[in-house]
Amino acid sequence: MSSAAIGSFLAWADHYLNFEKLPQKNIFWLDTMSFLCERLGHPERCCPCFHIAGSKGKGSVSSMIASVLAEAGYSVGLYQSPHILDFRERVRTPGGFFPEDVYERAAAELKAAVAAVPPEDFPGGRPLTWFEIVTVFAMLCFRIAGVDYAVYEVGLGGRLDATNVVRPLCSCITPIELEHTEYLGSTVEAIAAEKAGIIKDGIPVISAPQPQSVRDVFRKTAEKHAAALHFSDCDVRLTIARLAEAGLPDGRQLQTERPVTMAVTLESPLFRHAIQTNIRLLGSFQGENAAVAALAVRTALPDIPEECIASGLAEAYLPGRFEIVRHSGAFPHIPELIFDGAHTKNSVQMTMETFRSLYGNQSAHLLFACAADKDVEDIALCLRGSFTNVTLTRPGSIKAADMPRMQRAFAAAGVAFSAEEDCRAAIAAALAAADKAAAPLLVTGSFYLVAEAKEFLRGSKALR
């Protein structure tokens, strides 16, 4: 799909309500998706699939499952959100993008189907949403490409998410935490119930480790649907080597000639032998994600050998998840740029665990932004004491931010900072400061900030 074709499709789609840009309540239901899928000949049924929900880690699990399937020799369609630099990141294969004509044919088919229905004839008279359009677009791409399997990452929640029209081989739920409370509920149990809405009659479910109250919600829902429920920490013994053993010679100095990886061993009675691999997605939680992905593949497709699972996990990659980029170009003295879209308390905590394991007590800089609906007070506490230079800004132009609240939160946490409302100016200032200090720079708090920073660097030719 050429840049012009992408622009044309997105210009059309942008006429519809985009929750990512303008969150609204009372727009979530499945009637519209079911209606549109029926009119298009049910593209959601074009191939067997996996369905992944959760508060954090669902993108990683989706990528891992898709990568394993590809290593086993299958063609795979992968649907994820958000994208960082290219819209096609949402609808792709594990190894890259589909041919241009796949995207173009899907866009034409979808636009024609929508145009044939008067707006008032859609269920409830409600117009389509942007995410519904993109979800159906992905399904059409997978059907046109003739993929063997599809992997769908839930957008928000689960029960009423646009992806929940699929009937998968296996459902996966990654760790649950408080998020989007105005839409999903004010307790982890309420949020768990929404995520558990992807559980279907007779379809096995793989869950990451969860608090006991969340496990109880999942068990109750699984029993109701006669769905076999597996918790990865009960079925898989996970061993993670120190990062120094997996790609760092001494735990501190990164080598630029090879990527940083993490040694993971998965043992289970369900595996014929232990799965040993080195994964590119870093952090102890990524080991847990690998266990979920391996268990899901083994449960749904038991004939896929352990060797394919190991190599698939090793090949899995997801931009913006503790992504380390080496310095070059306009900022030659920055040893590493680390991009991570963590935007909840728990995910930021995990990001910082990984960051400290790599960089220890050396001088490091931070560029941070988050959307207005995030728990920035708790996040600021997670970040204090680790950076000699902190720059706060807005997460680009798409997400609303509350700069005064952000500044109050960091001040209350005892973090010295500079603040710049203009995102691009803040990125430039943070990069210049890190370059002058020859310090690693962590960019975190929002995928939208990560996207803005990468776009800035691409424009300055600072990325290799």
Q: Do both 74 and 182 map to the same domain?
A: yes
* % of the chain with per-residue pLDDT over 90: 77
Q: What is the dihedral of CA 191, 196, 197, 203, to 10 degrees?
A: 170
What pLDDT, on the 0 to 100 scale, is given for residue 247? 42
Give the DSSP letter string of 187-218: SHHHHHHHHGGG--TT--EEE----HHHHHHH
Is 86 a member of any domain? yes
Residue 145 forms part of a structural domain: yes
Q: Where are the beta strands (DSSP E) in 49-144?
A: 49-53, 76-79, 91-92
| Residue 398 belongs to a domain | yes
Q: pTM for the complete prediction?
A: 0.91
- Check: CB of residue 39 under 8 Å from CB of residue 117: yes
pLDDT at 400 over 50: yes
Same domain, yes or no: 329 and 210:
no
Out of 234, 265, 300, a domain closes at: 234
Same domain, 222 and 352: no
- Please identify, among 200, 234, 268, the residue that sits at the C-terminal boundary of a domain: 234
Sign of CA dihedral 371, 376, 380, 382: negative
pLDDT for residue 23: 56
- Indicate whether 121 belongs to any domain: yes
Beta-sheet strands, E only, within 208-289:
229-231, 237-240, 262-267, 275-279
Q: Say yes or no: 224 and 331 in one domain.
A: no
The structure tokens 């241009």 sit at 100
Q: What is the pLDDT of residue 250?
A: 41
State the alpha helices, DSSP H only, in 301-446. Answer: 306-315, 345-359, 376-383, 403-412, 423-437
Quick: pLDDT tens for 71-120: 999 999 999 999 999 999 999 999 999 999 999 999 999 999 999 999 88
Report the Cα 38 to chain-centroid distance in Å.
28
CATH of the domain at 366: 3.90.190.20
Which residues are bridge partners to 367 per DSSP?
Answer: 391, 443
Name the range with the highest mean pLDDT among 108-117, 243-252, 395-404. Answer: 108-117
Do 226 and 331 reside in the same domain of the chain?
A: no
**229 and 358 both lie in a single domain:** no
Q: Are residues 194 and 327 in the same domain?
A: no
Cβ atoms 339, 463 nearer than 8 A: no
Residue 16 lies in a domain: yes
Could you tell me whether strands 170-173 and 49-53 are parallel, antiparallel, or unpaired per DSSP bridges?
parallel
Q: Which domain range does residue 40 map to?
A: 4-234
222 shares a domain with 353? no
**In the prediction, which pLDDT does 254 show?**
41
**pLDDT greater than 70 at residue 21:** no
24-40: per-residue pLDDT in tens?
A: 556 678 999 999 999 99
> Which band of pLDDT confidence, cut at 50, 70 and 90, is reported for residue 223?
very high
Looking at the structure, do residues 226 and 343 belong to the same domain, yes or no? no
Domain stops at, among 197, 218, 234: 234
Rg (C-alpha) for the chain, rounded Å, is: 22
- 245 pLDDT above the threshold of 50: no
For residues 153-176, one letter each, b for 16 or more C-beta atoms within 10 angstroms of the residue's C-beta and e for the rest, the string is bbbbbbbbbbbbbbebbbbbbbbb
If asked whether residues 452 and 338 sit together in one domain, one would say: yes
Out of 16-20, 131-135, 452-456, pick the least confident.
16-20
Domain count, the chain: 2
The domain spanning residue 139 has which CATH number? Answer: 3.40.1190.10
230 and 331 fall within a common domain: no
From the list 239, 240, 241, 292, the residue with the least C-alpha distance to 270 is: 292
Report the pLDDT averaged over residues 50-56: 96
Residues 24, 183: Cα–Cα separation, whole Å: 9
Handedness of CA 235, 237, 242, 247 (dihedral sign): negative
Q: Give me the pLDDT at residue 180, please.
A: 79
Residues 6+ apart with CB under 8 A from 303: none
The pLDDT, as a whole number, for residue 427 is 97
Helices then strands, each counted (H, E), the chain: 17, 16
50, 157: one domain: yes
pLDDT exceeds 70 at position 248: no
Q: Give the mean pLDDT of 429-441.
A: 96
pLDDT tens column, 159-202: 999 999 999 999 999 999 888 777 788 899 999 999 999 999 99
Helices 376-383 + 403-412 axis angle, to 10: 40
Q: Is position 446 within any domain?
A: yes
In a domain, 312, yes or no: no
Tell me the residue type at 117. V
pLDDT in tens, 316-359: 999 999 999 976 678 989 989 999 999 989 899 999 999 998 88
Q: What is the pLDDT of residues 357-382, one digit of tens each?
A: 888 878 999 999 999 989 999 999 99
Residue 252 resides in a domain: no
Query: What's the CA gap between 352 and 381, in Å, rounded?
Result: 11
